[in-house]
Amino acid sequence: MGVGTPRQTQIPPKELPRYGADRLSGIRCIATHLKLEPPNEAALTAMAVQRLDSLVVLTLTGSGFQKRGGGGAGYVKEAYWCHLIPHPETAWQISNPMGLEEMLDQHFTEFVEELEADFQRQFVARAVDDDRDRVLVVGLETDQVTKQRYQDGIEEIKRLVETAGGEVLEVLRQKRSRPHPRTVVGEGKVQEISLVAQTIGANLIVFDRDLAPIQRRNLEDNIGIRVIDRTEVILDIFAQRAQSGAGKLQVELAQMQYMLPRLVGRGKSMSKLGGGIGTRGPGETKLETERRVIQQRINNLQREVSSLQEHRTRLRQKRQHERVPSVAIVGYTNAGKSTLVNALTNSEIYAADQLFATLDPTTRRLIIQDAETEENRQILLTDTVGFIHELPPPLMDAFRATLEEVSEADAMLHVVDLSHPAWLSQIRSVMDVLSKLPISPGPAIIAFNKMDQVDGDRLMEAKDEYPQALFISAHDRLGLETLRQRLCQLIRYACE
């Protein structure tokens, strides 16, 4: 028995006897109140969040309930029977008011069994129809970001989810001055997330920002569905895209570094490994063993990445000894870098209209006839991993060997997707990542790609903002000869 409203006394989803989109919880709730009115939305939401078999609300009246301290017995004036329904537009159904005798005549057990069978059929049909993750995206707009930056972030997280293989069913938004320290969004929004996820059949919640370990645990405890953040989506994409041994190595390191502080447990303060009063005991707990194993794996991976870094350094030194200048091609993810390398060098690097289509750095030799000297000049073009707004720190650390291809290059070609609404913001994001490299890259030029997909106003805006930039279309091979000659001039200047 609980004292309070259905919402105040609700059981967290993880503590229910059974929980899931394909079944009910096995719990029936009888609530009482004194007003002659149907249950409010808060009570119905609590029923939906807990997936109760039924919620029966009894309206009591009588002298004992009319006067404070009265001793008279009350009686049931009317009753409402509420239950969930497998309907795409509404989550529950409320009966007409009925008397107590009529309520007692209802066949609750048979009805609940039939209702749960309907939920199971709907769940199976949905699973057969689409085996991808069905995702509810949650975005939080705070005072620290502009409305446009927030909207761009929402569109980007949707693309990331789709690139990872998920299907975005719906987006929920909330505006707060700052994130809630325990649940990111407010308590009411957490209830709404749980309800919407059940209604649309989502099996995964994705937030548009990074979550602290405690925030993720609290959200999963209250919603009852797996919750992940933006970094986890990016890590999943990287794990799918990595092809070379080096790429897989770096992705695993990033995943391990992300996972370590998110192991569920009591934390370092309660560890039995520290020594001292109260810490001695029979040995390591399972959590401590997992932490130790992961930390050992991280140490091994870091040594292997360092070895990879040294190997690439030797390759760069060999190229420098051979006096072959190099140009690193950088840009926001899906800007068209791989397509451009293919067009310039007649290569077949994998290129697709996807975020992070390629991860591993690829170097191709480009031979250009210098228009001024009429001599052939060799240049090495290196296609690097695409950047993204607020590149997750674990990835920044793990891919330092890849990013050093940028810092060690003689020059840099920054490719920008001019057709993207946030092209200016993407330029700033790339420059922000580059500013964090240990060595400043050499001279650079900007090439605005996909010029065939924009109007004259966008072209003029970009030209006014960056008067020295080039305008090309890698897909249609427009402006490539001008680009080749500018690369010659860039290398001549860089190597003087």
Residues of the domain holding 221: 134-228
Residue 444: both structure tokens together: 């650079």
- The verdict on 351 and 438 lying in the same domain is yes
What is the pLDDT, as a whole number, of residue 448? 97
The β-bridge partners of 380 are 326, 365
Helix (H), strand (E) at residue 57: strand 54-61
What is the pLDDT, as a whole number, of residue 6? 62
Query: What is the arithmetic mean of pLDDT over 99-119?
Result: 81
Instruction: Compute the distance between CA of residue 428 and CA of residue 214 in angstroms, rounded to an integer.
Output: 32
Instruction: Compute the distance between CA of residue 109 and CA of residue 115 in angstroms, rounded to an integer.
Output: 10
Average pLDDT of the chain, as a whole number: 80
Is residue 297's pLDDT more than 50?
yes
- The verdict on 119 and 163 lying in the same domain is no
- The verdict on 99 and 156 lying in the same domain is no
**136-195 pLDDT per residue, tens:** 999 999 988 889 889 999 999 999 999 888 999 999 999 999 999 999 999 889 988 988
- The verdict on 74 and 141 lying in the same domain is no
Edge to edge, what strands does the sheet with 28-33 contain?
28-33, 54-61, 75-84, 92-94
For the ranges 82-86, 141-145, 402-406, the maximum mean pLDDT occurs at: 141-145
Query: What is the arithmetic mean of pLDDT over 432-456?
Result: 84
The β-bridge partners of 365 are 380
Query: What is the arithmetic mean of pLDDT over 231-253?
Result: 82
**How remote is the C-alpha of 484 from its chain's centroid?**
38
What is the pLDDT, as a whole number, of residue 385? 79
Q: 381-416: string of b/e by CB count within 10 Å (b at 16+)?
A: bbbbbbbbbebbebbeebbbbbbbbbbbbbbbbbbb
Is residue 377's pLDDT more than 80?
yes
What is the pLDDT, as a whole number, of residue 347? 78
List phi, psi (to 5°) of 29. Answer: -120, 135
Instruction: Compute the distance between CA of residue 395 and CA of residue 391 in angstroms, rounded to an integer.
Output: 7
- The verdict on 471 and 326 lying in the same domain is yes
Q: Which residues touch 439 (CB under 8 Å, ≥6 apart)?
A: 404, 407, 408
- The verdict on 395 and 411 lying in the same domain is yes
What is the pLDDT, as a whole number, of residue 467? 94
- Band (pLDDT 50/70/90 cuts) for residue 65 is very low
- Judge whether 241 lies within some domain: no
- The verdict on 224 and 178 lying in the same domain is yes
Query: What is the arithmetic mean of pLDDT over 286-310?
Result: 79
Is residue 403's pLDDT more than 90?
no
Query: What is the arithmetic mean of pLDDT over 462-486?
Result: 94
More confident residue, 385 or 458: 458
- Judge whether 283 lies within some domain: no
Find, among 233, 204, 464, 463, the residue nearest to 333 by Cα: 233
Cβ(286)–Cβ(263) under 8 Å? no
Q: Scanning the structure block, which residue is given the tokens 């009063």?
A: 277
For the ranges 101-115, 282-296, 384-398, 445-459, the maximum mean pLDDT occurs at: 445-459
**Looking at 292-396, which runs of residues are DSSP E strands?**
326-331, 362-369, 376-383
Residue 215: both structure tokens together: 């925030």
Cβ(377)–Cβ(367) under 8 Å? yes
**Could you say which of 198, 228, 258 is where a domain stops?**
228
- Judge whether 263 lies within some domain: no
Cβ(381)–Cβ(364) under 8 Å? yes
Instruction: Compute the distance between CA of residue 300 and CA of residue 311 in angstroms, rounded to an integer.
Output: 17
Percent of the chain with pLDDT over 70: 78
Cβ(304)–Cβ(249) under 8 Å? yes
Q: Which of 72-76, 394-398, 447-451 has the lowest mean pLDDT?
A: 72-76
Instruction: Compute the distance between CA of residue 222 and CA of residue 230 in angstroms, rounded to an integer.
Output: 20
CATH value at residue 209: 3.40.50.11060
More confident residue, 490 or 495: 490
What is the pLDDT, as a whole number, of residue 301? 84
Cβ(56)–Cβ(30) under 8 Å? yes
- Judge whether 235 lies within some domain: no
- The verdict on 145 and 105 lying in the same domain is no
- The verdict on 188 and 100 lying in the same domain is no
- Judge whether 302 lies within some domain: no
- Judge whether 335 lies within some domain: yes
Neighbours of 343 (CB within 10 A): 20
Helix (H), strand (E) at residue 94: strand 92-94
- Band (pLDDT 50/70/90 cuts) for residue 455 is very high
CA of 31: how far to CAs of 64, 203, 321, in Å? Answer: 18, 30, 82
**Could you say which of 129, 164, 179 is where a domain stops?**
129
What is the pLDDT, as a whole number, of residue 287? 67
Find, among 468, 427, 428, 477, the residue nearest to 450 by Cα: 477
- The verdict on 71 and 212 lying in the same domain is no
Task: State the distance between the two ends of the chain, measured CA to CA, in whole angstroms.
Answer: 83
Find, among 325, 395, 404, the residue nearest to 361 by Cα: 404
**Could you say which of 196, 228, 260 is where a domain stops?**
228
- The verdict on 373 and 478 lying in the same domain is yes
Find, among 404, 324, 406, the residue nearest to 365 by Cα: 324
Is residue 296's pLDDT more than 50?
yes
What is the pLDDT, as a whole number, of residue 266? 40
- The verdict on 105 and 151 lying in the same domain is no
Question: Per the structure, how many domains does the chain have?
Answer: 3
Query: What is the arithmetic mean of pLDDT over 453-477?
Result: 94
| 463 residue type, one letter | K
More confident residue, 273 or 465: 465
CATH value at residue 439: 3.40.50.300
Cβ(28)–Cβ(56) under 8 Å? yes
Cβ(194)–Cβ(136) under 8 Å? no
Find, among 238, 90, 114, the residue nearest to 164 by Cα: 238
- Cα-Cα-Cα-Cα dihedral sign, residues 291, 293, 297, 303: positive
Q: Which residues touch 264 (CB under 8 Å, ≥6 apart)?
A: 213, 217, 287
| 266 residue type, one letter | R
- Cα-Cα-Cα-Cα dihedral sign, residues 443, 388, 453, 241: positive
- Judge whether 298 lies within some domain: no
Is residue 310's pLDDT more than 80?
no
Neighbours of 479 (CB within 10 A): 18
Query: What is the arithmetic mean of pLDDT over 253-268?
Result: 70
- Band (pLDDT 50/70/90 cuts) for residue 221 is confident
| 21 residue type, one letter | A
- Judge whether 148 lies within some domain: yes
Query: What is the arithmetic mean of pLDDT over 459-469?
Result: 95
Q: Which of 19-28, 52-61, 152-161 has the lowest mean pLDDT?
A: 19-28
Find, among 364, 396, 428, 340, the residue nearest to 152 by Cα: 428
**321-364 pLDDT per residue, tens:** 567 888 989 999 889 998 999 999 887 776 666 677 666 678 88
